[in-house]
């Protein structure tokens, strides 16, 4: 994964609370293979009317939005389902950072696994950033080394868990990290199976073999 250090880009303001994963990508699009590019589904029902016509006023349809890599929103961003597709939609659209006062837990860890930084700011600071960005994509600087965000005169700190920061700074992948512990895992599994023998599921005597 591409390491994340300092991002100098355009930011979009999405001034809404509880932007849940069902809004980020409606479930009906999730049967598509990733190769089609999930960016087209991002916030689909929010930015299109019932006939599928795009709302020209919506921030993602403003000039410059295609180049934006940062999204600023309100509290509880990414609440709801565990669908990683919500992160794919953001990442495939081109976003590398979302800034909000709080995030859904699963969404935040999914983000980090895809190189997307979930930056947590104070509620007041989120409002200042939203105001500074206004209703058009505007310049923004996100510095993961210093943990600061700048838009024009506004300069605010953000937090991210130290573990996630390290992963993002280095562009690390979990599976690589874990396989270094293979021996420890094998030893643990053996001990565990002895200690909690009943926890290994035994198929019932009259098991059914499902073909699907």
Partner 1 sequence: MSTPTTLFDKVWRAHEIHRSESGQSLLWIDRHFVHEGSFHGFNKLGERALPVARPDLTFGIADHYVPTLARDLDGVADPKVRSMIEQLSYNTQRHGVTLFGLDDPRQGIVHVLGPEQGLTQPGLVMVCGDSHTATHGAFGSIAFGIGASEVAHVLATQTLWQTKPKVMRITIDGQLAPGITAKDIALTWIARLGADGARGYAIEYAGEAIRALSMEARLTLCNLSIEGGGRCGMIAPDQTTFDYLRERPWSPKGEAFEQACAYWKTLYSDPSAGFDLEVTLHADEIAPTVTWGVSPEEALPIDQALPDPENISDPAKARQARDSMAYMGLSAGQKLTDIKIDRVFIGSCTNARIEDLRAAASVLAGQKSRVPGMVSPGSTLVKTQAEAEGLDRIFIDAGLEWRHSGCSMCVGMNGDLVASGERCASTTNRNFKGRQGPGARTHLMSPAMVAAAAVSGHLADIRTLSSQASATGVY
Q: Does 190 bind partner 1 (CB under 8 A)?
A: no
Place of tokens 């700011």: 121
Q: Does 179 bind partner 1 (CB under 8 A)?
A: yes
Q: Does 124 bind partner 1 (CB under 8 A)?
A: no
Q: Does 211 bind partner 1 (CB under 8 A)?
A: yes
| Residue from the set 50, 53, 56, 57 that interacts with partner 1 by CB under 8 A | 50
Q: Does 18 bind partner 1 (CB under 8 A)?
A: yes
Site string for partner 1, 71-110 (x = CB under 8 A): ---xxx--xxxxxxx-x--------------x-xxx--xx
Residue with smaller CB distance to partner 1, 8 or 123: 123
d(CA 85, CA 29): 9
Tokens of 52: 């599928």
Total residues at interface with partner 1 (CB under 8 A): 64
Tokens of 18: 């509880």
Please report the sign of the dihedral spanned by the C-alpha atoms of residue 200, residue 201, residue 206, residue 210. Answer: negative
Nearest-CA neighbor of 110 among 180, 25, 6? 25
DSSP string, 100-156: ES-B-HHHHHHHHHTT-EEEE--HHHHHHHHHHHTTS-EEEEEETTTTEEEETTEEE
Which residues form the interface with partner 1 (CB under 8 A)?
A: 16-18, 20, 22-23, 26-28, 30-32, 34, 45-46, 50, 74-76, 79-85, 87, 102, 104-106, 109-110, 113-114, 123, 161-163, 166, 174-175, 177-179, 181, 184-185, 188-189, 192, 196-204, 208, 210-212
């Amino acid at each position: 994964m591409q390491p994340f250090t300092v991002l100098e880009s355009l930011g979009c303001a999405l001034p809404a609370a509880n932007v849940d994963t069902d809004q980020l990508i409606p479930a009906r699009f999730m049967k598509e293979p990733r190769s089609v590019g999930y960016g087209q589904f991002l916030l689909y029902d929010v930015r299109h009317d019932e006939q599928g016509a795009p709302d020209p006023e919506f921030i993602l349809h403003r000039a410059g939005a295609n180049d934006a890599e940062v999204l600023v929103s309100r509290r509880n961003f990414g609440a709801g389902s565990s669908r990683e597709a919500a992160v794919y939609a953001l990442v495939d659209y081109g976003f590398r950072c979302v800034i909000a006062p709080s995030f859904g837990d699963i969404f935040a860890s999914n983000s980090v696994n895809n190189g997307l930084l979930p930056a947590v700011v104070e509620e007041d600071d989120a409002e200042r950033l939203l105001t500074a960005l206004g209703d058009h994509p505007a310049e923004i600087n996100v510095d993961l080394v210093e943990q600061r965000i700048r838009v024009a005169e506004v300069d605010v700190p953000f937090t991210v868990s130290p573990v996630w920061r390290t992963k993002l700074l280095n562009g690390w992948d979990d599976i690589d990290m874990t396989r270094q512990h293979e021996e420890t895992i094998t030893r643990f599994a053996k001990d565990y199976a002895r200690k909690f023998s009943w926890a290994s599921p035994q198929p019932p005597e009259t098991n059914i073999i499902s073909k699907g």
